[in-house]
Amino acid sequence: MKKKDQDIDDVLIDYALGQLDPNDTARVELMLAERPELMREARALKRMVSHMGVSMIVPPPRLVSRTRRAAREARARRPGWRGVLPAALRRPLVPAAAGVVVLAIVALLVVPGLLPSRPGDVTTPHYTTPGTLGEELTSFMQSSLSEMRTLARGKDPGVEDPSERAAQAMLWQKEPLPEAQLEVLHDIETVWRTAYERAGPAGILSDETITELQDFVAQKRLVERIEALMFH
| Cβ–Cβ < 8 Å for 136, 163 | yes
Nearest to 82 by CA among 163, 200, 188, 229: 200
How many angstroms separate the CA atoms of 27 and 40, rounded? 17
**Closer by beta carbon to another protein, 28 or else 185:** 28
174-204 as b/e: b if 16+ CB within 10 A:
eeebeeebeebbebbbbbbeebbebbeeebe
The minimum distance between CB 74 and another protein, in angstroms, equals 5
How many angstroms separate the CA atoms of 134 and 1, rounded? 58
The minimum distance between CB 78 and another protein, in angstroms, equals 5
The binding site for another protein (CB under 8 A) comprises 9-10, 13-14, 16-19, 40-41, 43-45, 47-49, 51-54, 56-60, 63-64, 66-68, 70-72, 74-75, 78, 122, 126, 132, 135-136, 138-140, 142-144, 146-147, 149-151, 153-154, 161, 163-164
The minimum distance between CB 216 and another protein, in angstroms, equals 26
The minimum distance between CB 154 and another protein, in angstroms, equals 7
**Closer by beta carbon to another protein, 16 or else 98:** 16
**Closer by beta carbon to another protein, 141 or else 185:** 141
The minimum distance between CB 228 and another protein, in angstroms, equals 24
**Closer by beta carbon to another protein, 68 or else 186:** 68
CA distances from 21 to 3, 43, 60, 228 (A): 23, 18, 38, 39
How many angstroms separate the CA atoms of 52 and 148, rounded? 33
**Closer by beta carbon to another protein, 92 or else 154:** 154
